[in-house]
């Protein structure tokens, strides 16, 4: 919804810039709009349009690559989560309380990152929806540290369980490293100041449109269509800037699949 509101604001600003250009030409710059000056202005407009189109293309590409890369990291993270759960299931009933805590940790993480989606079912966890992401991050970090301590406190009864406990520790280390790589990466693919700078470029271009020609129904329709096109592109970019919300977001499917696998094996923990 925020991305759609931003697109409407962009469309309004572009149309207002074009209207300002019409007003400047008709009331202030009329005597100076000779053919030579208009031709030169056309060259300037062409240059600005080319630069803006290149920049917008690069921004969309950067946002798309950011989402794809982050989705790959989530898929790897989910796979390591399943492997850690498998290692604890191999250890036996002694690790079952740790598995339940890991499931609660996973469900809370899903709710924290994908707050606009449905909450996971079949598992109890701390409700994090009313907390800020920073507060939730601390809660989840403490929970994960508790899981780590519980794994280290396992008491193997024979050489086989000693090896299984060591495997749980190794799997936990890989999982924790993958989590920190996700937590520490930037949440936005494109800085907000860069978007504002692009918006100022587009407003200058539409101002030049107004200076270049006289207002007429055909010109107004053409400018409106151009504004709609650029607004839709801005909507796409703004939607991708918030990777866990909107239409073009990072999918939670891999994490939900991992949680489903963990919950299924609660029925037969020795499987």
- Please state the rounded mean pLDDT for residues 56-61: 82
User: Average pLDDT of 126-136?
Assistant: 79
pLDDT band at 129 (very low <50, low <70, confident <90, very high): confident
pLDDT confidence of 3, banded at 50, 70, 90?
Answer: low
The single residue listed with the structure tokens 């650029």 is 230
Q: Is pLDDT above 80 for 133? A: no
CA distance 15 to 226: 10
| Lowest-confidence region among 14-18, 191-195, 207-211 | 191-195
Q: Which of 99, 109, 98, 180 shows the shortest CA–CA distance to 139?
A: 109
For residue 145, pLDDT beyond 90: yes
Taking Cα atoms as reference points, which of 13, 7, 5, 4 lies closest to residue 201?
A: 13
Please tell me what DSSP assigns to residue 190. Answer: S
Give the start-to-end residue ranges of the domains of the chain. Answer: 2-63+188-241, 80-186+250-264
CB neighbour class for 258 (10 Å; exposed up to 12, middle 13-18, buried from 19): buried
- Could you report the per-residue pLDDT of 64-122, keeping only the tens digit for each? 888 888 889 999 999 999 999 999 999 999 899 999 999 999 999 999 888 888 888 88
Q: Does residue 261 carry a pLDDT above 50?
A: yes
Q: What is the mean pLDDT of residues 5-14?
A: 79
pLDDT in tens, 33-54: 566 666 777 777 888 888 888 8
Average pLDDT over residues 252-269: 83
pTM, full prediction: 0.76
Q: What is the per-residue pLDDT for 30?
A: 59
DSSP label at residue 191: -
pLDDT of residue 36: 62
Residues 6+ apart with CB under 8 A from 95: 88, 89, 151, 154, 168
Q: What is the mean pLDDT of the chain?
A: 83
pLDDT at position 20: 83
Helix (H, G, I), strand (E, B) or coil at 118: coil
């Amino acid at each position: 919804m925020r991305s759609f509101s931003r697109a409407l604001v962009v469309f309004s600003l572009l149309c207002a810039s074009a209207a300002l250009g019409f007003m400047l030409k008709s009331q202030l710059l009329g005597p100076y709009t000779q053919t030579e000056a208009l031709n030169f202005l056309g060259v300037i407009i062409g240059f600005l349009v080319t630069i803006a189109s290149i920049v917008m293309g690069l921004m969309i590409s950067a946002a798309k690559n950011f989402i794809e890369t982050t989705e790959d990291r989530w898929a790897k993270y989910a796979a390591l989560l399943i492997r850690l759960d498998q290692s604890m299931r191999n250890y036996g009933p002694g690790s079952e309380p740790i598995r339940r805590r890991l499931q609660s940790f996973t469900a809370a993480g899903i709710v924290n990152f994908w707050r606009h989606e449905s909450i996971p079912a079949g598992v109890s966890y701390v409700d994090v929806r009313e907390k800020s992401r920073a507060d939730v991050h601390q809660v989840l970090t403490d929970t994960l540290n508790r899981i780590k301590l519980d794994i280290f406190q396992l008491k193997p009864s024979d050489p086989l369980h000693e090896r299984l406990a060591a495997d749980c520790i190794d799997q936990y280390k890989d999982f924790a490293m993958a989590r920190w790589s996700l937590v520490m990466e930037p949440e936005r693919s494109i800085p907000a100041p860069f978007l504002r700078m692009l918006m100022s470029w587009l407003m200058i271009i539409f101002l030049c449109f107004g200076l270049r020609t006289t207002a007429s129904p055909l010109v107004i329709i053409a400018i409106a269509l151009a504004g709609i096109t650029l607004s839709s592109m801005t909507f796409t970019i703004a939607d991708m800037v918030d990777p866990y919300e909107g239409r073009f977001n990072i999918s939670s499917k891999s994490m939900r699949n991992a949680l489903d696998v963990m919950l299924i094996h609660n029925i037969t923990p020795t499987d």
